[in-house]
Amino acid sequence: MWNVPEAKDKTIARAIGVKDERLKLISEGCDPIRKDVKHEPKDILGEVSRTHNAIQTLDKTISNLEMELAATRAVQESIINGSPISGDQKIPEASGKRKYLMVVGINTAFSSRKRRDSVRATWMPQGEERKKLEEEKGIIMRFVIGHSATSGGILDRAIEAEDQKHGDFLRLEHVEGYLELSAKTKTYFATAAALWDADFYVKVDDDVHVNIATLGATLARHRTKPRVYIGCMKSGPVLAQKGVRYHEPEYWKFGEEGNKYFRHATGQLYAISKDLASYISINQHVLHKYANEDVSLGSWFIGLDVEHIDDRSLCCGTADCEWKAQAGNVCVASFDWTCSGICRSVERMRDVHRRCGEGKNALGTAAF
């Protein structure tokens, strides 16, 4: 059992071997290259980009799962507490549900029949073309409207008749009114998220011109990002004076008089990703509504880890969208800032579409 000398010999041998290896490394230089290994040139930037995209995709997947889990918990708590479950709050269905690129909700009113017809005649596909757009491109388009104060009255019957003819309405459990736009926006996102599983949910006014293929391509670039809020970001003044347009009754919450709002997307057109729409759906009963719906939407994302994307192609003027299109920079949306939409849109929508449209074949050839 006298093994100590042998162990010493092995220790000494190992030490000598390590020392020889170190000397060999020094003699070969600071960056030794083994002759039996072939080193292939690596695309370092490509590897970094692929890794970054993989991380973003994983982050988005985790975010979606968290939102689905929160929605399921909310429904279970309602059942346990004996509270009624609203129609737009459903347990997420993981299997068999069609995936869409985007849902485009066109905000409209009972008095806007001519505006809707001007949109149908220009940038909103009709009939079989619209169904083909849903099936092949994954794009849902609907006019969004609630109900009148007297449910089932003449206004509601007129919308029902129009819907039977065109089949392009999304009816909300909401009472229409200009001062209720924040509530309508909240209900729209919650309802759309429950009906369609899409990457993005878009809200646009019915007096704005939109190039749908360009919108789809713009949103598709941000598909792998979680919690995305896209629009023309602005920070206008908080108007404390009563009687003026866009008066803010809760102006005192924004600090001293003369202060500005936080950054938020202008209300003519904006888009949010699926997880943000799910967040609105889950928390709709506790989200505060300000007088202006674009301010309300922006306030709901304060404190969340949301990426604000300021894209000026979503708010081109009708005077400059033509030369931008000729230069190859087709605008997503065009309107007149002075009118918060296209001025006299019923008369001018066709002209704006002719000058600023992306072309008849743009949607057919688009790949998202």
pLDDT digits (tens, 9 = 90+) for 317-338: 999 999 999 999 999 999 999 9
pLDDT confidence of residue 152:
86
The verdict on residue 300 lying in a domain is yes
Higher pLDDT, 48 or 15: 48
The verdict on residue 283 lying in a domain is yes
pLDDT confidence of residue 83:
40
The verdict on residue 301 lying in a domain is yes
The verdict on residue 292 lying in a domain is yes
The verdict on residue 333 lying in a domain is yes
- Are the C-beta atoms of 244 and 157 separated by less than 8 Å? no
**Distance of alpha carbon 189 from alpha carbon 102, whole angstroms:** 12
> Taking residues 275-281, what's their average pLDDT?
96
**Distance of alpha carbon 267 from alpha carbon 251, whole angstroms:** 19
* Phi then psi dihedrals of residue 191, to 5 deg: -70, -45
182: Cβ contacts below 8 Å, ≥ 6 apart: 289, 290, 291, 292, 293, 296, 297
Please count the CA atoms within 13 angstroms of the CA of 333 that sit on its side-chain side.
Answer: 32
> Taking residues 67-79, what's their average pLDDT?
55
For tokens 């995209």, the residue is 53
**Distance of alpha carbon 31 from alpha carbon 256, whole angstroms:** 63
CATH of residue 340: 3.90.550
Look over the chain and give the mean of its residue pLDDT values, rounded to a whole number: 85
- Are the C-beta atoms of 101 and 139 separated by less than 8 Å? yes
**Chain centre distance of CA 284:** 17
pLDDT confidence of residue 95:
43
Locate 13 and state its tokens.
């041998």
The verdict on residue 4 lying in a domain is no
**Distance of alpha carbon 302 from alpha carbon 258, whole angstroms:** 21
Supply the range of the domain harboring residue 171. 99-232+266-365
pLDDT digits (tens, 9 = 90+) for 155-201: 999 999 999 999 999 999 999 987 899 999 999 999 999 999 999 99
The verdict on residue 133 lying in a domain is yes
| pLDDT tier for residue 55 given thresholds of 50, 70 and 90 | confident
- Kindly report the CA angle at 67 between 61 and 71, in degrees rounded to 5? 145
**Distance of alpha carbon 187 from alpha carbon 150, whole angstroms:** 19
